[in-house]
A and B are shown apart, each in its own frame.
Chain A
Amino acid sequence: MQDLEQFRQEVRRWLETNCPPSQRQPVTPKEQYWGGRRGKFPSEDARLWYERMRDKGWIVPEWPTEYGGGGLSDHQGRAIRQEMKRINARTPLYGIGIWMLGPALLEYGNDAQKQRHLPAIINGEIRWAQGYSEPGAGSDLASLQCKAEDKGDHFLVNGTKIWTTAADKCDWIFCLVRTNPDVKKQEGISFLLIDMDDPGISTTPIGLISGESEFCQTFFDNVKVPKENLVGELNKGWSVAKALLVHERKLMAEMGSDSPRKIVAPNDAAREYLAFENGKIADAQLRSDLVDYNMQMHAIALTHFRGFEEKAAGVRSAAPLVMKYLGTEAEKTKSELLLAIMGSRGLGWEGEGFTAEELDTLRLWAMSKAMTIAGGSSEIQLNVIAKSVLELPQPGEQ
Chain B
Amino acid sequence: MALVLNEEQRLLRDTARDFLASTAPVSALRKLRDERDPLGYDPGLWQQMAELGWASIFLPEDYGGLDFGFAGTGIVMEECGRTLAASPLFTSAVVGASAVLLGGDDRQKAELLPAIAGGELTLALALEESHHHRPTHIDCRVTAEGEGFVLDGSKTFVLDGHSADQLLVVARSHGGATDSDGLSLLLVERTAAGVSCQRTIMADSRNAARLSFDRVRVDAGGLIGGLGDGWAILEPVLDRGRVAIAAEMMGCALEAFERTVAYLKERRQFGALIGSFQALQHRAAQMQADFELCRSVLLQALTAVDETPEQLPILASLAKAKLNELVKRVTNEAVQMHGGIGVTDELEIGFFLKRARVAMQIFGDTGYHKDRYATLCGY
Contact = CB atoms under 8 A, between A and B. Distances in A.
Interface of A: 267, 270-271, 276, 279-281, 287-288, 290-292, 294-296, 298-300, 302-303, 305-306, 309-310, 313, 315, 318-319, 322, 325-326, 379, 381-383, 385-386, 389-398
Contact of A291 (B275, B300, B377): B377
A393 B3 contact: no
Most chain A beta carbons < 10 A, residue from B288, B296, B371, B374: B296
Contacts of B322: 295, 299
**Closest 8 CB pairs between A and B?**
A385-B285, A386-B281, A302-B296, A306-B3, A299-B293, A382-B285, A322-B289, A392-B275
Interface in B90-139: none
B71 interface: no
B269 to A, nearest CB: 13
B296 A322 contact: no
A393 B264 CA distance: 9
B265 A318 contact: no
Contact of B261 (A271, A288, A390): A390
Given A291-B377, A295-B373, A303 B293 contact: yes
Contacts of B2: 309
A394 B286 CA distance: 17
Given A287-B374, A392-B264, 7 more contacts: A267-B379, A291-B370, A295-B370, A300-B293, A303-B293, A382-B285, A397-B272
A280 B289 contact: no
Interface in B293-338: 293-297, 299-300, 318, 321-322
Most chain B beta carbons < 10 A, residue from A291, A325, A394: A291
A380 B373 CA distance: 33
B366 to A, nearest CB: 10
Interface string B66-95: 000000000000000000000000000000
Interface of B: 2-4, 261, 264-265, 271-273, 275-278, 281-282, 284-286, 288-289, 292-297, 299-300, 318, 321-322, 370-371, 373-375, 377-379
Contact of B281 (A280, A305, A382): A382
Contacts of A267: 377-379
Contacts of A396: 272, 276
A305 B296 contact: yes
Contacts of A391: 265
Nearest to A300: B293
B288 A390 contact: yes
Contact of B282 (A386, A393, A395, A397): A386
A303 B374 contact: no
Contact of B379 (A270, A292, A305, A385): A270
Contact of A290 (B278, B284, B374): B374
Task: Please report whether the interface of chain A is mostly helix, strand, loop or mixed according to DSSP.
Answer: helix
A384 to B, nearest CB: 8
A319 B292 contact: yes
A391 B258 CA distance: 12
Contact of B285 (A279, A305, A319, A390): A390
A197 to B, nearest CB: 43
A298 to B, nearest CB: 6
A299 B379 contact: no
B379 A280 contact: yes
Given A310-B4, A382-B282, A386-B284, A326 B289 contact: yes
Contacts of A305: 3, 296
B315 to A, nearest CB: 9
Nearest to A329: B289
Given A306-B3, A315-B4, A396-B276, A287 B379 contact: yes
Contacts of B293: 296, 299-300, 302-303, 326
Nearest to B280: A392
Contact of B265 (A290, A325, A392): A392
A392 to B, nearest CB: 4
A305 B297 CA distance: 11
A392 B374 contact: no
A309 B282 contact: no
Contacts of A299: 293-294, 296-297, 318, 322
B281 A325 contact: no
A295 B183 CA distance: 30
Contacts of B379: 267, 270-271, 276, 279-281, 287, 290
Nearest to A287: B374
13 contacts: A281-B374, A295-B370, A299-B322, A306-B295, A306-B296, A309-B2, A310-B4, A313-B4, A382-B281, A383-B278, A393-B265, A397-B272, A398-B272
Contacts of A389: 285, 288
Given A299-B294, A299-B297, A393 B273 contact: yes
A303 B296 contact: yes
Contacts of B373: 291, 294-295
A69 B42 CA distance: 62
A389 B286 CA distance: 12
Contacts of A280: 374-375, 379
A396 B273 CA distance: 9
B331 to A, nearest CB: 18
Contacts of A394: 276
